[in-house]
Structure 1
Amino acid sequence: MPNEIDLFSSREMLEVVETVYPVGDFLLETFFHFSDPVVHISEYVDVDVVKGGRRLAAFVNPLSEGKPVERKGYSTKTLIPPYVKPFRITTAGDLLKRLPGEHVYGGKSPQERAAYQLGRDLLDLMTQINRRIGWMAAQILNTGKVVCVGEDISLEVDFGLADTHKITLSAADKWTASTADPAGDIVEWKDLLAKDSGHVPDVAVLGLSVAQALKKNELVLKQLDNRRVIMGQIVPQDLPKGVTYLGELEGVQLYQFLDYYEDDSGVLQPMVPANKILIGSTRAEARMHFGAIKDAKAMIEGVSTPYYPSSWIPDNPPARHLMIQSAPLPAIHEIDAFASILAV
């Protein structure tokens, strides 16, 4: 049999070879202040939105009465952070099995394996949660909403991206066409977002196909500001994995972001669709929110945290249960400062 070990042959165990797929947090850090989240102790999050105007003060005679100006009203939006709580069970049988990279003889004790496995499981569950948060951010930037569907849950959080901010370029304007003018497009999008939100976009994230088309555009090659590219290397920024700085065009920083997730069918999908451009302002109000942890023990202890891990061993059947609970929601409160473009 292939797994039989010849006891009379010498063997050596090499270090384990492990493929790790780090979670790209570029979208979260760029637009949602992921490292500085807002943690709530409530199930619902209400946001009062006051939208100003661009009125000019009226001219009057200095001896006349002042011109009364009415106040702007406000609207209240209610956000419901969706809930996740990935869960893993470790049995006694799992602790009797050799770990990857462990020597066949004279290896670790069950206690050492338990401690090691606990750390690995915590990291794995946290990675799953953060990848889900990254997926939510990408969905919101792409469609203006996030649809959360799971067992016994169907929740949609819609931030109201206007149809005029969901742009599809014509065949002649697509960035793969010889008649394309990416710089001219960016100028138009800047004007649209500035007019609707008061914020001028400063970052655009390009999907793979769009980035490839941009690099081949003869007109762009003459306009693209490559001051940060020296001998093919990007300086001085130490960009995270999956991110490539492409250059600056019409005052907008252009990035390519390659990160993937498995859909419900197990098929890899890009976080940023290959044919899309996600453009927005880093100065617009957008935050990373975490709702209340719906756990009796956490509430009794007064715990307010983005992630709540817990571990316990029931008597029947005896196995260690590990779970991390979280209620994450990246939210764009000034959605008019963003647009999603089908560019190729």
Structure 2
Amino acid sequence: MYDTQSLARLIENIPRPSSFLLDLWFPSVQTSPAEEIVFDIRDGARKVAPFVSPLVAGKVVTDQGFRTNTFSPAYIKIKTPIDPKRPLKRQAGETIGGGFHPGTRARDLVAALAAEHVDMLHQRLELMAAEALLDGQVTVSGDQYPTHVVDFGRKAEHSIDISATGDWLSSTPTNDLTDWSMRLLQACGQRPSDAVMGLAAYQALIKHDDVKERLETRRLEGTRLQGGPDLAAPGASYMGELDGLPIYVHVDWYVDPDTGEESLIVPTNHVILAAPALNGTRAFGAIRDHDLSFIAQPFAAKSWTDHDPSVRYLMTQSAPLIVPVVPNASLSAKVLPD
């Protein structure tokens, strides 16, 4: 199971962890056979067909604008050594005294580590999705990789801050949500499909009597909204529908790999709105590895051994970027002070 093809099948067959923002707004996957990721950004503008006399030549209408961008993403390389003593010891859940051959335990350890690597990679993608939705841009930096800010060109008025002037404890949140929905409708031709809030933002929203009266919760069935996304993702809760807009609360954390600090993926005082026109895409560049034949796929794993001392390594690689193809189909708002 340690050869490249077997590990590729293993990675492909690992159930992907639920990632709420990715699953909700970034369902598409794009792979590139080159080092660079090429992606298009559209403005979402709606043009009206012009009138002309039937006796004159047709009026030339330029193609709806989009711009093509290229980006060489930072690389992710998760490498984990497998302690050669672990296959010799009983694993969790194994019968007392041990019921498996050490070789079987070693293969099970590789499979478990591969699943752990996939979880870590999805957590990174989820964090990038949150950043794209909150800021309209993604900051990419890493060891020996200069910091790059990938700015998708979202309108400045789609990053809102009312925390200092009329936050949700004192203003009318329903009016704000309606105004912001209309802003998205004007920008991309669609109303938002969902609103995702931090916990404090939702708690401020629900304090208002008009919200309590208008919040519809009858469509909730267990952890799944009828006709909506699967809510198996940790930290995601469906709270109801407000004037036709599904409301979710997102409370989930990540640990910064550089500082070790734990932070919320969606800040507790923020609200995110987005429409299907966002056309969110998970883009991946080619894997720069001779052993893997520079394969174009989201995640690629390989394994090898050092002979003295004997140790096996598992490494999973990826070159990702999260892309909102129509960035003006999303909007974020800070509704409470820090």
For the criterion TM > 0.5, the same-fold answer is yes
Corresponding position of 1:200: 191
Asked if 2 retains the 8 angstrom alpha-carbon contact of 1:290 and 1:306, the reply is yes
Asked whether 1:245 is paired with 2:219, we answer: no
Corresponding position of 2:168: 175
Asked whether 1:333 is paired with 2:325, we answer: yes
User: Offset of 1:104 from its aligned partner?
Assistant: 6.0
Residue 280 and residue 50 in structure 1: after superposition, are their counterparts in 2 closer, same or farther (change >3 A)? closer
Q: Which has the higher contact order (CA 8 A, sep 6+)?
A: 2
Residue 248 and residue 305 in structure 1: after superposition, are their counterparts in 2 closer, same or farther (change >3 A)? same
Residue 104 and residue 66 in structure 1: after superposition, are their counterparts in 2 closer, same or farther (change >3 A)? same
> d(CA) in 2 for partners of 1:110 and 1:61?
83
Secondary structure of 2:139's match?
strand
Name the amino acid aligned to 1:239.
L
Asked if 2 retains the 8 angstrom alpha-carbon contact of 1:276 and 1:341, the reply is yes
User: Offset of 1:46 from its aligned partner?
Assistant: 2.4
User: Offset of 1:229 from its aligned partner?
Assistant: 4.3
> d(CA) in 2 for partners of 1:101 and 1:75?
54
Asked whether 1:257 is paired with 2:244, we answer: no
Asked whether 1:222 is paired with 2:213, we answer: yes
Corresponding position of 2:156: 163
> d(CA) in 1 for partners of 2:47 and 2:323?
29
Name the amino acid aligned to 2:187.
D
CA-to-aligned-CA distance 1:66-111 (integer Å, 9 cap, x gap): 5634414542222333321101112323333443355664554422
Asked if 2 retains the 8 angstrom alpha-carbon contact of 1:24 and 1:242, the reply is no
Q: Which runs of 5+ in 2 are unaligned?
A: 1-15
* Root-mean-square deviation over aligned CA pairs: 2.6
> d(CA) in 2 for partners of 1:258 and 1:52?
31
Corresponding position of 1:144: 136
> d(CA) in 1 for partners of 2:259 and 2:247?
32
CA-to-aligned-CA distance 1:133-168 (integer Å, 9 cap, x gap): 111111111112222222111342221222211101
Q: How does 1:1-344 map to 2 (within 5 A)?
A: 23-33=17-27, 36-49=28-41, 51=43, 53-59=45-51, 64-66=55-57, 68-72=59-63, 74-102=66-94, 105-106=97-98, 108-156=100-148, 157-171=150-164, 173-177=166-170, 180-229=171-220, 236=226, 239-240=231-232, 241-263=234-256, 264-299=258-293, 303-344=295-336
Secondary structure of 1:304's match?
coil
Secondary structure of 2:212's match?
helix
Residue 41 and residue 70 in structure 1: after superposition, are their counterparts in 2 closer, same or farther (change >3 A)? same
Corresponding position of 1:18: none
> d(CA) in 1 for partners of 2:266 and 2:278?
20
Count of residues paired in the alignment: 315
Secondary structure of 1:319's match?
strand
> d(CA) in 2 for partners of 1:52 and 1:279?
16
Corresponding position of 2:9: none
Residue 49 and residue 109 in structure 1: after superposition, are their counterparts in 2 closer, same or farther (change >3 A)? closer
**In percent, how many aligned pairs have the same letter?**
32
Asked if 2 retains the 8 angstrom alpha-carbon contact of 1:285 and 1:332, the reply is yes
> d(CA) in 2 for partners of 1:255 and 1:290?
28
User: Offset of 1:272 from its aligned partner?
Assistant: 0.7
> d(CA) in 1 for partners of 2:271 and 2:262?
20
Residue 170 and residue 309 in structure 1: after superposition, are their counterparts in 2 closer, same or farther (change >3 A)? closer
Which one has the largest radius of gyration? 1
Q: Which runs of 5+ in 1 are unaligned?
A: 1-21
> d(CA) in 2 for partners of 1:233 and 1:314?
46
User: Offset of 1:312 from its aligned partner?
Assistant: 0.9
Asked if 2 retains the 8 angstrom alpha-carbon contact of 1:82 and 1:155, the reply is no
> d(CA) in 2 for partners of 1:120 and 1:49?
38
Residue 327 and residue 234 in structure 1: after superposition, are their counterparts in 2 closer, same or farther (change >3 A)? closer
User: Offset of 1:53 from its aligned partner?
Assistant: 4.9
Q: What is the TM-score normalised by the length of structure 1?
A: 0.82
> d(CA) in 1 for partners of 2:189 and 2:44?
9
Secondary structure of 2:168's match?
coil
Asked if 2 retains the 8 angstrom alpha-carbon contact of 1:38 and 1:287, the reply is yes
